[in-house]
């Protein structure tokens, strides 16, 4: 018997056993050999790499089902990171940031313009990405960072510089407040040529990465804890029904945002502008982010989502 004929025979036995679900006894009868011969044939088929056996742990099935449910409901590509018993929220954030960083790395090609919205989650993500040069990569800031104390630029500059160093990219900062004191001030600032250049670069983004902010997240969202919002701002947001933000643009639970008063003073990229970016990666961790995450998905801001299992379960449990 030639080598190829032997492989064909092994494959036939493996097909009957693994593909058709026949017993060794029935295969032995069909091939007119002993049961022990069939057992050896199946072993040889595995050793010849005609058969590959993989194991799927229970957690893989759990997260795959969650991902399918979220994907079907919101029309996005979903990656759910399994949660390990005993992990705290900081550990879940770390694993989600690593998974999000790996997915973002797959999206980056030479000549990409990457829009980044700063925040706690995205800072963790950018700290986890691998170092590799991406020729012609441009990074543009999607929302202003100056807070009510006049600071904030140092924080975002450090975050963006870290990413630029790892990817050998150029950075276009957006040196304006996260929230202006008056809508008219923003309108006047938007007429400045320096600001218009950044806005034009934002419009050229082909990939964006961002998270969602929550008023009471387990790991506090940066915008809610570093003097970006006054007590009056928070009262106004609650009166308008805001549940959180994307790119420092506030959303209601149904995903609407246009008539929330604070948004007339904000510098962040609005959902309708995000929709023009081909790939939009939303990375979120924390069960208290489930409500703003649902709002963001209802607004359609994401094409791809990375979320931990605990947050995914909280999301599908919302009514």
Main-chain dihedrals φ then ψ at residue 108, nearest 5 degrees = -85, 125
* Tens-digit pLDDT string for the chain (319 aa): 677 788 888 899 999 998 888 899 999 999 999 989 998 998 898 888 888 876 566 666 888 999 999 999 999 999 999 987 777 888 999 999 999 999 999 999 999 999 999 888 999 999 899 999 999 999 999 999 888 766 666 778 888 998 999 999 999 999 999 999 999 999 999 999 999 999 999 999 999 999 999 998 877 777 887 788 999 999 999 999 999 999 999 999 999 999 999 999 999 999 999 999 999 999 999 989 999 999 999 999 999 999 999 999 999 999 7
Rounded Cα gap, residues 208 and 241, in angstroms: 26
Q: What is the pLDDT of residue 140?
A: 97
Helices (H) and strands (E) in the chain, counts: 14, 9
CB atoms within 10 A of CB 29: 13
Q: What is the pLDDT of residue 89?
A: 86
Coil, helix or strand at residue 184: helix
Asked if 97 and 127 count as a contact pair (C-beta separation under 8 A), the reply is: yes
pTM for the full predicted model:
0.80
Element (H, E) at 307: strand 304-308
Nearest Cα neighbor of 264 from 154, 168, 200, 182 is 182
Q: What is the pLDDT of residue 216?
A: 85
Q: What is the pLDDT of residue 248?
A: 95
Quote the tokens at residue 22. Answer: 């026949």
pLDDT digits (tens, 9 = 90+) for 46-76: 888 888 876 566 666 888 999 999 999 999 9
Nearest Cα neighbor of 115 from 163, 165, 180, 152 is 163
Q: Helix, strand, coil % (nearest 5) of the chain?
A: 50, 15, 35
- CA-CA distances (angstroms) from residue 244 to 46, 250, 292? 53, 6, 5
Asked if 301 and 280 count as a contact pair (C-beta separation under 8 A), the reply is: yes
Residues paired with 284 in a beta bridge: 307
Rounded Cα gap, residues 36 and 28, in angstroms: 9
Q: What is the pLDDT of residue 218?
A: 76
Per-position DSSP letters for 111-160, written without gaps between them: T-EEEE--SHHHHHHHTTSPP---TT-EEEESS--B-TTS--HHHHHHHH
């Amino acid at each position: 018997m030639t080598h190829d004929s032997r492989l064909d025979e092994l494959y036939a036995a493996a097909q009957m056993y693994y593909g058709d679900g026949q017993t060794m006894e029935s295969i032995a009868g069909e091939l007119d050999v002993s049961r022990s011969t069939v057992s050896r044939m199946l072993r040889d088929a595995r050793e010849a790499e005609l058969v590959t056996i993989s194991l799927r742990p229970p957690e893989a099935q759990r997260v795959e089902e969650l991902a399918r449910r979220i994907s079907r409901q919101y029309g996005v590509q979903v990656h759910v990171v399994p949660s390990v018993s005993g992990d705290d929220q900081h550990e879940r954030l770390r694993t989600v940031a690593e998974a999000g960083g790996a997915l973002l790395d797959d999206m980056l090609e030479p000549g990409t313009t990457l829009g980044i919205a700063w925040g706690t989650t995205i800072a963790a993500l950018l700290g986890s990405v691998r170092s590799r040069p991406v020729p012609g990569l441009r990074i543009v800031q999607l929302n202003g960072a100056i807070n009510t104390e006049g600071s904030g630029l140092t924080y975002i500059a450090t975050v963006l510089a870290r990413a630029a160093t790892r990817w050998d990219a150029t950075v276009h900062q957006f040196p304006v407040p996260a929230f202006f004191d008056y809508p008219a001030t923003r309108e006047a600032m938007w007429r400045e040529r320096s600001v218009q250049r950044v806005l034009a670069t934002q419009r050229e983004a082909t990939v964006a990465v961002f998270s969602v902010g929550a008023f009471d997240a387990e790991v506090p969202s940066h915008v809610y804890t570093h003097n970006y919002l006054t007590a009056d701002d928070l009262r106004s947001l609650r009166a308008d029904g805001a549940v959180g933000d994307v790119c420092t643009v506030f959303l209601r639970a149904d995903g609407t945002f246009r008539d929330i008063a604070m948004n007339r003073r904000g510098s962040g990229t609005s959902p309708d502008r995000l929709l023009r970016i081909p790939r939009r990666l939303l990375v979120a961790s924390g069960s208290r982010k489930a409500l703003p995450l649902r709002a963001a998905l209802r607004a359609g801001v994401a094409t791809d989502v990375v979320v931990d299992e605990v947050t995914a379960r909280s999301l599908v449990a919302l009514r």
